[in-house]
Copies of this chain bind each other. A is one copy, B any other.
Amino acid sequence: MTEKHEFDLQNFLPYLLNQAAEESSLAFQQVYKDRYGMLRTEWRVLFHLGIYGRMTAKEIGQRSKMHKTKISRAVARLGERRFLTREQDDRDRRLEYLELTNLGLTAYRDLLGVAQTYDAKLSAGLSAEEDAVLRRALRKLAGFDAD
């Protein structure tokens, strides 16, 4: 009596990805939340500016695929807390260049270290080959290749 549709929820990619994402985000989330009171969108914006440097909200949106309202709110909060400065472009006053302050840079560097350590810890459970294949496959699924 074999099961006809042998469908395991734990093998359905969207579900599996979600569970893995949530599980693997927990510990890092704890850090940026406890240490800086940040939300997910906020550390993401922080990292974009930390890694790629001064840019506009629009550019962050293009890279991250976050919706512009999320970015707008994250930028507003990071601004209030003095993690970044906002400077209007003279030539096109719709544009605002965002840049980390020293405070923001310090937070970024701190969290960067945490992220690197944490990423390594996650990888540690996987073989080198698994790790490489995993990241490549995820990049495909996330649409990071055809960008």
Contacts and interface: CB of A to CB of B under 8 A. Distances in A.
Given A115-B7, A123-B13, A19 B142 contact: yes
Contacts of A136: 130
A147 to B, nearest CB: 9
B11 A135 contact: yes
Contacts of A11: 119, 135
A39 to B, nearest CB: 13
A16 B138 contact: yes
A118 B14 CA distance: 9
Interface of A: 5, 7-25, 28, 44, 47-48, 51, 65, 112, 115-116, 118-119, 122-123, 125-126, 129-131, 133-144
